[in-house]
Structure 1
Amino acid sequence: MCSLYNYSILKKNKRADIMKSILKDNIHVLERVEDWKDAVRKSGKILLENQSIEERYIEAAIKNIEKLGNYVVITDNVAMPHARPEDGVNQTALSLLLIKDGVDFLGENVNLVFMLASKDNSSHIEVIRKLSQLVDDEEIVEKMSFAKNKEEILNYL
């Protein structure tokens, strides 16, 4: 029989394995960015470089924020810019940009920018669920916000 503690550890390890496999090649750490648009462009560039998205996806994500406001700030210090699948997604993917100095995201300070790209309207559901579990842990978010490099971030997952 699995104790509650062991179940919790197994659940966390499963979350970590999934997040590490999704993010391992898609994490960049920067000291600072010019503004929130630069943050979106730089987080999108990670996915552009591995051909998960097209350039127009990044611009669509920026236009969404300009139109709808900072709805992409999903919790303290965390933003998740995104656009629609038809805006240029080649494969479902997630990137993480850590901005050490933070950036003002239309009135909200953000250090962690997760760019989400979904190829369709359902393939991202599991990614969102795992990301939600991750960012709900305030301690992990804080540690990730002060990480020195990609390896340190991966250790916190």
Structure 2
Amino acid sequence: MIKELLKSNIQILPQVDSWEEAIKIASSPLLEKGYIEPRYIDTMISKVNELGFYIVLSEDVAMPHSRPEDGVLKMGMAMLKLDKPVKFGNNDIQIVITLAAKDNESHIDALTNLVELLNDDEKIKKIKLAKTNQEILEII
């Protein structure tokens, strides 16, 4: 399921200047395709400012997200892979996966797939080295 959600929503960049910029860029495919409203991105950033870096899932991966009522129109997922890590608090993050969940249940399968991916250190290493979207999809 995660592969289908990410299929046309992967971006690869050399670097970004800040974690805020990483969230904005990672979310842009979802915004452009009408999955989220602009306020969803603003809410994700303000939640991190308020609550801290709870979105950091592992030493390399962050998953910005917020509540469905904060501007989700359709369930979606997008990925930003950075060649050079960006600081999310004390963590050097290279993979930013934005989750837009329409409700509290429909995204469970996607999260299960994501957890399986994150638990596979070899796949995460390969994604960090990947140079193309197709390469990332094949790894997933």
TM-score range, shorter chain: over 0.9
Q: Distance in 2 between matches of 1:138 and 1:66?
A: 29
Higher helix share: 1
Structure 1 unaligned regions, length at least 5: 1-17
% identical equivalent positions: 39
Task: Report the AA paired with residue 50 of structure 2.
Answer: K
Residue number in structure 1 paired with 2:129: 146
SS for the counterpart of 2:57 is strand
Using CA pairs under 8 Å that are at least 6 residues apart, name the structure with larger relative contact order, 1 or 2: 2
Q: 1:19 Cα deviation (Å)?
A: 2.2
SS for the counterpart of 1:74 is coil
**Within 5 A, what are the aligned runs for 1:91-110?**
91-110=74-93
Q: Which runs of 4+ in 1 moved over 4 A?
A: none
Q: What TM-score, normalized by structure 2, do the two folds share?
A: 0.97
Q: What TM-score, normalized by structure 1, do the two folds share?
A: 0.87
Q: Distance in 1 between matches of 2:46 and 2:2?
A: 27
Residue number in structure 2 paired with 1:87: 70
Q: Distance in 2 between matches of 1:81 and 1:98?
A: 14
SS for the counterpart of 1:75 is coil
State whether structure 2 residue 103 is matched by structure 1 residue 127: no
Greater C-alpha Rg? 1
Q: For 1:107-127, what per-residue CA distance to the aligned partner results, in whole angstroms no more than 9, with x for missing partners?
A: 100000000000111111111
Structure 2 unaligned regions, length at least 5: none
Residue number in structure 2 paired with 1:70: 53
